[in-house]
Chains A and B, each alone.
Chain A
Amino acid sequence: MDSLYFDFCASTPLHPEVYDELMHSTKQIFANPSSVHDMGFEANLRVEEARERISVLLQVMPNEVIFTSGATESNNLAILGVVRAWAKKTGQIPHVLTTQVEHSSVYNCCKQLVAEGVEVTFLPVDRNGVVSVSTIEESMQPNTVLVSVMHVNNETGAIQPIQEIGKLLRNKPDIHFHVDGVQGFGKQSLLIEDIDLYTLSGHKIGGPKGIGLLIIKETVELAPLLYGGEQERGIRPGTTNVPGVLSMATAIELTLKNREETMRVLTTLHDLVYSKLVTIPEIIMNSALPPLSSPHIINFSYIGKGITSAILIGILAKQGIVVSSQSACSSKAKASRVLMAITNDEMISSSSIRLSLHESVSLKDAEYLLDSIEKMVNHVKTKNKFELLQGV
Chain B
Amino acid sequence: MTIDHDPNPGKLLTINEYSDQNGQLVQLNNMKGPKILLFVSMHCVRCIELLPQIRDLRLPNTGVVIFSTGDQEDHRELDDFLHNKWSIVSLSPEQMEEEFEVKTHPFCIVVDEYGRILNKGNVYSGEDVSNLASVNGEGKLKKLFSHLFH
User: Is the CB of A331 closer than 8 A to any CB of chain B?
Assistant: yes
B4 contact set on A, CB distance < 8 A: none
Kindly report which residue of chain B lies nearest to residue A325, judged by CB atoms. B43
Docked complex: A282-330 residues within 8 A CB-CB of B:
306, 308-311, 313-314, 317, 327, 329-330
B48 contact set on A, CB distance < 8 A: 310-311, 314, 385-386, 388-389
User: Is the CB of A24 closer than 8 A to any CB of chain B?
Assistant: no
A305→B43 CA distance, assembly (Å): 15
B77 contact set on A, CB distance < 8 A: 384-386
Q: Are B78 and A386 in contact (CB under 8 A)?
A: yes
- A390-B52 contact in complex given A306-B74, A331-B104, A332-B93, C-beta closer than 8 Å: yes
- Expressed in whole angstroms, the minimum distance between the Cβ of B44 and any Cβ of chain A is 5
A334 contact set on B, CB distance < 8 A: 43, 69, 93
B47 contact set on A, CB distance < 8 A: 310
Q: Are B45 and A311 in contact (CB under 8 A)?
A: yes
Q: Are A314 and B51 in contact (CB under 8 A)?
A: no
Q: Are B105 and A330 in contact (CB under 8 A)?
A: yes
Q: Are B81 and A386 in contact (CB under 8 A)?
A: yes
B69 contact set on A, CB distance < 8 A: 334
A308→B45 CA distance, assembly (Å): 9
Main secondary structure of the interface of A (DSSP, over half): loop
A311 contact set on B, CB distance < 8 A: 45, 48
Q: Are A330 and B80 in contact (CB under 8 A)?
A: no
For the A-B complex, the count of residue pairs with Cβ-Cβ distances under 8 Å equals 64
Q: Are B49 and A314 in contact (CB under 8 A)?
A: yes
User: Is the CB of B119 closer than 8 A to any CB of chain A?
Assistant: no
Q: Are B41 and A332 in contact (CB under 8 A)?
A: yes
Binary flags per residue of B86-100, CB closer than 8 Å to A gives 1, else 0: 000000011001000
User: Is the CB of B42 closer than 8 A to any CB of chain A?
Assistant: yes
Per the CB 8 Å criterion, the residue count for chain B at the interface is 27
Main secondary structure of the interface of B (DSSP, over half): helix
Kindly report which residue of chain B lies nearest to residue A315, judged by CB atoms. B45
B21 contact set on A, CB distance < 8 A: none
Q: Are A306 and B49 in contact (CB under 8 A)?
A: no
Q: Are A329 and B81 in contact (CB under 8 A)?
A: no
- Expressed in whole angstroms, the minimum distance between the Cβ of B88 and any Cβ of chain A is 11
User: Is the CB of B142 closer than 8 A to any CB of chain A?
Assistant: no
Q: Are A306 and B71 in contact (CB under 8 A)?
A: yes
- A330-B74 contact in complex given A311-B45, A311-B48, C-beta closer than 8 Å: no
B80 contact set on A, CB distance < 8 A: 384
Docked complex: A371-392 residues within 8 A CB-CB of B:
384-390
A308 contact set on B, CB distance < 8 A: 42-43
- A329-B74 contact in complex given A334-B93, A387-B81, C-beta closer than 8 Å: no
Binary flags per residue of B21-57, CB closer than 8 Å to A gives 1, else 0: 0000000000000000000011111111101100000
Residues of B within 8 A of A (CB): 41-49, 51-52, 69, 71, 73-74, 77-78, 80-81, 93-94, 97, 103-106, 122
Q: Pick 27 A–B contacts, CB within 8 A, sort by A.
A: A306-B71, A306-B74, A310-B42, A310-B44, A310-B45, A310-B47, A310-B48, A311-B48, A327-B43, A329-B45, A330-B46, A330-B105, A330-B106, A331-B43, A331-B44, A332-B93, A332-B103, A334-B43, A334-B69, A350-B43, A385-B74, A386-B48, A386-B51, A386-B81, A387-B52, A388-B48, A389-B49
Residues of A within 8 A of B (CB): 306, 308-311, 313-314, 317, 327, 329-334, 350, 384-390
9 new A-B contacts at CB < 8 Å, known A334-B69, A387-B81: A311-B45, A313-B45, A329-B46, A330-B106, A330-B122, A334-B93, A386-B78, A388-B48, A389-B52
